[in-house]
Structure 1
Amino acid sequence: MSRSEALPRTVRLLLLARVVNRLGAFSLPFLTTLICADHGASLTTAGLVSAAFGLATIPSRLAGGRLADRIGRRTTIVLGLCGCAVAQLAIAASASLAWAVAGAVLLGLAFELYEPPSQAIIGESVPERHRVRAFSLFSAALAAGGMGAGLLAALLGRWDLRWLFVTDAATCLACALLIRLALPCDRPEPPGADQDDTAVRPLRDRALLSILATGTAYALINQQTVMTLPLALARQGRPAADAGLLFTAAAATTVLAQPLVRLRWTTRLTTPVALALAHLFLAAGLTGYALARTLPALLASAAVKSLGDLLVMGRAYALVTDLAPPGGSGRYLAVFGTSWGIAATLAPVLGTQLLARAGTTALWSAMAALCLLLAALHLRVTLESARSPRRGNLLPHAAREAVTTPSQALDDATAASSADGTSGREETA
């Protein structure tokens, strides 16, 4: 997107509100630590509680897409943020493990209501050729807020972990107020036959389901560093609050490395190649987590890993928006977003079990190996496209045609990223 083409006011306000919310969004990685430290739970119990949270986010994400179409996107966003605030205050005030579990489940049920309507606003408020750029700026805004969040987590976490949840609740309420006052009220049309068809169409779109599969694998890796990193640091004899410093390093890299993805060779990468490169960066960073024993080495590993995240995010959401039929982007993004709920359910169970039975080195090594496998799968798609003249020379607009195989789904992304390069757009992830 050129400098002369500013983002719409609605998108800019949404980005500002999300930065405010992100400043306090550091409590979730410390949920398992709080349960263990304040309520005497075992690693297995803490993992199951986090898994319950993750499981609750799946219906939350789907409900966010449906409510956005039924009661309006602004109302859905405000409802989700207020629900998160109530749940976080309940966790902070919990006097027993049972109350903490109830608060975690309530947090999961409200946690993802925000995402589908906010992503749909971005996807539908900018021209199609600028969607990757817009979603990338959304990720950069989250990272900018995350820089301050990590520092606050490192400070408050050394004082009392419960204050993390109180502060997070306060920023949720501030974000909800900003959204309520600044965003225009949208009035969705009454549901009809076309909307009912849109509700089930995502589950029948094999292209979307293929992207969902690879997205779930990536989300599983990502969630390990969110939910398990504080526990892993504690098992290494380091303060769990040091995770806040690592989150800050990763967020700072995401912001500072934005110019790198504007280089001509980067924008010309096909999506499978870009994703393969991204997973190689992820593997390198996770290998650093497995081997590093000093804080500087861990910070460097976090920075390398964040370069991989930088290459993934913008393309994925833009591609899903392109696949959606008119008026169906909220539902498509909601279905794709369940990858994070699935990962949030599996990650704490898998992570805590690996930590308890094999240790931190095995945990991060296993995640690095999964990254290498995903990189190989993406490169295989590239080789298949090169051997197929018909698919290797798809026109940019072919990325929006119906797709019936997993390879073709990723070929769609290849064509879309080629369109980004030919349009001269500054692409970020």
Structure 2
Amino acid sequence: MAGRLPTAVRVLILARAVNQLGGFSLAFLTVLLADDFGAGLTLAGVVSAAFGLATIPSRLLGGRLADGWGRRRTIVAGLLGCAAAQLGLAAAPDLLTATLCAILLGLAFELFEPPSQSLIADAVPARDRASAFGLLTTAIAVGSLGAGLIADVVGRWSLRWLFVADAATGIACAMIVLIALAPDAPDAPDAPDAPDAPDAPGRRGAERPPVPASAPWRDRALLAVTASGTVFALISMLVLVALPISLGEVGLRPSDAGLIMAVSTATLVLVRPLLRTALLSDLSHPATFILGYTLMGAGLLGYAFAHTLPTLGAPTALYSVGNLLVMGRSFALVSELAPPAASARYLAVYGLSWGVATLLAPLAATWLIGVSGVASLWAVTAGLCGVMVVVQPGLARRVGGGGDDLGVIHSTNAVAERYDAVSI
């Protein structure tokens, strides 16, 4: 029943889908800097890395503001800040101005993620969070379907207009959140020294030393999950950054990345019913990570040998399904570690993995392509997936005690009936 999904979560899902309609500009940042501003591939990668570096304090500030200033205010501020920086990039007269706007974009880029994720984590029962985060991913993918087509059409005209489109959808998303979400409640004092409740469903308070809600950096389990999440984020960002560049290297248009990403989105929408089958929904965290990273690696190996749009379809589908499986379980695992008063701060620390990845991915992608070509880039990225097939399941068992007591072996069929009734 749609009514069983909290209104705030429904609004957030709708707003993020709207925002994602323009959400492919980041994939073209390196290409824009190289082509429109004459930066050259290496310098464009350095500027994109500066953007990634700026997202690290952005994520931390987003978590702090979400718990102190309020989630709705933080989400709106982050979205409007991104829009302003994107419009600046679109209108920049020279490389220096574009670089400054890219850094400002990074400083605003992650502000709205911790409050968005913590809103879901706190509103949804622990055993249902993997499905809830998966639904958010799917909703964003629905927006991406339109974004891919927009990127393909608008990108042939001018890459700058992609940033204008992204800014417009960000403003629309901010207005939805501002109008439809309830105002932030007055600040309530935190209970910084309150440990996890031992009997709270989905939490591991009885299995690890108590961690103050205000000190996520002292939670070794969170730091271990964040380290593994950094590898996952690096793989994801390498694909995002390198895909337009690699298409140009094999004789296709960089803007064709929009079509490839539209294929990815269509795959996520079509495969969601299969994720509700008992075969997949009853998998534990470790088993899901094995399957997810295996599919991602197979898709990336396919990219190494595919040089036409039709042959890129199957690898894209494999990679997309694997990415969805890993991402949903990763955020669920982090939310299960967080004390009740600190979900935003825990998710902010975990989200630093994406800041690090956004810093490293442009440098790694441009260097690998320049030194050894596109095929080597995809082979190395597939190799990282192979490493995670071995490492991630063991980490999930150590952190989560095998998974069963966290409620991660659950029936997604019942959960899906609750969430799929939401109209996107």
Normalization by structure 1: what TM-score? 0.89
Q: Secondary structure at the match of 2:307?
A: coil
> CA offsets, 1:161-193, max 9 Å, x none?
000001110111111111111100112525556
Please tell me whether residue 9 in structure 1 is matched to residue 10 in structure 2: no
Q: Show the counterpart of 2:228.
A: 214
Give the Cα–Cα distance (whole angstroms) in 2 for the partners of residues 73 and 163 of structure 1: 30
Q: Which amino acid aligns with 1:317?
A: F
Q: Say which of 222, 244, 250 aligns to 1:230.
A: 244
Please tell me whether residue 87 in structure 1 is matched to residue 85 in structure 2: yes
Query: Aligned ranges for residues 279-318 of structure 1 at < 5 Å?
Result: 279-318=293-332
> CA offsets, 1:292-343, max 9 Å, x none?
1111111221111101012112211122111111111000010011111010
Q: Show the counterpart of 1:348.
A: 362
Identity over the aligned pairs, expressed in percent? Answer: 50
Give the Cα–Cα distance (whole angstroms) in 1 for the partners of residues 404 and 249 of structure 2: 42
Q: Are the aligned partners of 2:297 and 2:319 in contact in 1 as well (CA < 8 Å)?
A: yes
Query: Aligned ranges for residues 2-401 of structure 1 at < 5 Å?
Result: 3=1, 6-191=4-189, 194=192, 198=212, 200-378=214-392, 381=394
Q: CA deviation at 1:136?
A: 1.1
Structure 1 runs not aligned, ≥5 long? 382-404
Q: Show the counterpart of 1:391.
A: none
Q: Which amino acid aligns with 1:159?
A: W
CA pair 420-14 structure 1, distance change in 2 beyond 3 A: same
Give the Cα–Cα distance (whole angstroms) in 2 for the partners of residues 99 and 335 of structure 1: 30
Q: CA deviation at 1:255?
A: 1.2
Q: Secondary structure at the match of 1:185?
A: coil
Give the Cα–Cα distance (whole angstroms) in 2 for the partners of residues 74 and 269 of structure 1: 34
Give the Cα–Cα distance (whole angstroms) in 1 for the partners of residues 31 and 259 of structure 2: 16
Q: Which amino acid aligns with 1:335?
A: V
Q: Which amino acid aligns with 2:399?
A: A
Give the Cα–Cα distance (whole angstroms) in 2 for the partners of residues 416 and 281 of structure 1: 25
Q: Which amino acid aligns with 1:301?
A: P
Give the Cα–Cα distance (whole angstroms) in 1 for the partners of residues 275 and 152 of structure 2: 30
Q: Secondary structure at the match of 1:257?
A: helix
Give the Cα–Cα distance (whole angstroms) in 1 for the partners of residues 412 and 265 of structure 2: 29
Q: Show the counterpart of 2:207.
A: none
Q: Which amino acid aligns with 1:48?
A: V
Q: CA deviation at 1:104?
A: 0.5
> CA offsets, 1:321-377, max 9 Å, x none?
111111110000100111110100011100000011110000000000111111122
Q: Are the aligned partners of 2:282 and 2:409 in contact in 1 as well (CA < 8 Å)?
A: no
Q: Show the counterpart of 2:202.
A: none
Q: CA deviation at 1:200?
A: 4.5
Q: CA deviation at 1:411?
A: 3.5
> CA offsets, 1:62-91, max 9 Å, x none?
100100111110000000000000000010
Q: Secondary structure at the match of 1:43?
A: helix
Q: Which amino acid aligns with 2:12?
A: L
CA pair 150-331 structure 1, distance change in 2 beyond 3 A: same
Q: Secondary structure at the match of 2:192?
A: helix
Q: Secondary structure at the match of 2:320?
A: helix
Q: Show the counterpart of 2:399.
A: 409
Q: CA deviation at 1:260?
A: 1.2
Structure 2 runs not aligned, ≥5 long? 195-210, 420-424
Give the Cα–Cα distance (whole angstroms) in 2 for the partners of residues 364 and 293 of structure 1: 12
Q: CA deviation at 1:221?
A: 0.4
Q: CA deviation at 1:155?
A: 0.4
Q: Which amino acid aligns with 2:410?
A: D
Give the Cα–Cα distance (whole angstroms) in 2 for the partners of residues 203 and 155 of structure 1: 44
> CA offsets, 1:30-87, max 9 Å, x none?
0000111111111110111111111111110110010011111000000000000000
CA pair 358-422 structure 1, distance change in 2 beyond 3 A: closer
> CA offsets, 1:258-309, max 9 Å, x none?
0111111212222111101111101111011100111111122111110101
CA pair 296-338 structure 1, distance change in 2 beyond 3 A: same
Q: Which amino acid aligns with 1:269?
A: L
Give the Cα–Cα distance (whole angstroms) in 1 for the partners of residues 23 and 4 of structure 2: 27
Q: Which amino acid aligns with 1:140?
A: T
Q: Secondary structure at the match of 1:189?
A: coil
CA pair 155-414 structure 1, distance change in 2 beyond 3 A: farther
Q: Secondary structure at the match of 1:349?
A: helix
Q: CA deviation at 1:153?
A: 0.2
CA pair 191-49 structure 1, distance change in 2 beyond 3 A: farther
Q: Secondary structure at the match of 2:100?
A: helix
Give the Cα–Cα distance (whole angstroms) in 2 for the partners of residues 424 and 140 of structure 1: 17
Q: Which amino acid aligns with 2:398?
A: Q
CA pair 217-410 structure 1, distance change in 2 beyond 3 A: farther
Give the Cα–Cα distance (whole angstroms) in 1 for the partners of residues 93 and 326 of structure 2: 40
Q: Which amino acid aligns with 2:274?
A: L
Q: Which amino acid aligns with 1:286?
A: L
Give the Cα–Cα distance (whole angstroms) in 2 for the partners of residues 406 and 243 of structure 1: 33
Q: Are the aligned partners of 2:12 and 2:177 in contact in 1 as well (CA < 8 Å)?
A: yes
> CA offsets, 1:111-165, max 9 Å, x none?
0001000111111112223222211111110000000000000000000100000
